[in-house]
Amino acid sequence: MLTSLRYLAGTAGPSGFGSRTTAEEATAAGRDLAHITAIITGATSGIGAETARVLASRGARLVLPARSLKAAEEARARVRADCPGADVTVLPLDLSSLASVRRFVKRFLHLGLPLNLLVNNAGKYADRFAVSEDGVEMTFATNYLGHFLLTRLLLDKMAETARDTGVEGRIVNVSSTIHSWFPADDDALAYLDRVTRRKIQYDPTKAYALSKLANVLHTRALADRLKEMGANVTANCVHPGIVRTRLIRDRDGLITNTVFFLASKLLKTIPQAAATTCYVAVHPAVAGVSGKYFADCNEASPSRLGASSEEASRLWTFSENITAEKVQKTTSSVHVVSTGLFGLQAQSSIVPNRAMALAA
């Protein structure tokens, strides 16, 4: 009850910020970010777009991946209109495709840029059941698995940048309090297996909750790996708050509109929703902090399942297996076979210059 009252009132927590803090206010202490290069996924609209705008206004160089280059170009134009002279690069990336993630990383590394900050912000809520080209339930593939591979492939570059510049690298995973909606007594990976194989009915909210739980667990395991590497890079995850972004607006209707009208006092504006991401990304007070969960620009507690080191380690092993690339050569073609812990096997011929499958 006390937490809810503080949220409604916007009362500041130990950080000096609260639920009504905006992204610009949260980054005021780190005003000059000219030395920072950041990759921000999902920056074509909503919270990601505001995160990009605010970091660019502080001088950060941005790399904006998107499924649609047209949407990315439009996002770049908006950033530059607000921040003349902003250094913004756009590259194609479909997070639901592991092959697309690998292509993006190859293109980014070819640019020869440093990498100080990675904001894994992109997310989707899929009303209808779908499976990615790699054979994984689409919400999980987009919201978590693509980000897992993206982060893993960029870790060496981030560690190298931190070592060469002496500036701490930071990884921010955007999760949600909805991660706590996944039942603590349910086996996450077994559930994913059953859903993917269509052994049970698809529940879009539960699938979304699972993907957000995976973001939390990924953060915990990633922080441990970074420590083992001796890298001057941290990893934290955030709950941005309840905001009516395109993720929700795409489901407009009488029931949705009524619920949001009644809950209007609980909603954040987009600048407020981007505050926690920006705070964790650049604020000096978060230096050296890793493996934590933040809400309203303050450290918070994830669900019991989200705090499990055992589950985090189990998910990490699963993710490494399912994103592993094994090339099998035959006389007629070359196939990439991805095999997961629950026995998923997705085969796809390697096709040069493959078109992006989804539009942002």
DSSP states of 87-107:
-EEEEE--TT-HHHHHHHHHH
* Number of Cβ within a 10 Å radius of residue 250: 11
- What DSSP element (H or E) covers 268? none
What is the Cα–Cα distance from 111 to 131, expressed in whole angstroms?
32
Total number of residues shown for the chain: 360
* Number of Cβ within a 10 Å radius of residue 313: 14
Catalytic residue flag (residue 202): yes
Residue 174, classed as helix, strand or coil, is: strand
What is the Cα–Cα distance from 61 to 113, expressed in whole angstroms?
10
Going across the sheet that includes 233-239, the strands are: 88-92, 61-66, 37-40, 117-120, 169-174, 233-239, 293-295, 298-300
Residue 86, classed as helix, strand or coil, is: coil
Integer-rounded Cα radius of gyration of the chain: 20
What is the Cα–Cα distance from 157 to 174, expressed in whole angstroms?
21
The single residue of 7, 144, 202, 293 carrying the catalytic annotation is: 202
What is the Cα–Cα distance from 344 to 319, expressed in whole angstroms?
12
Q: Which residues are catalytic?
A: 202
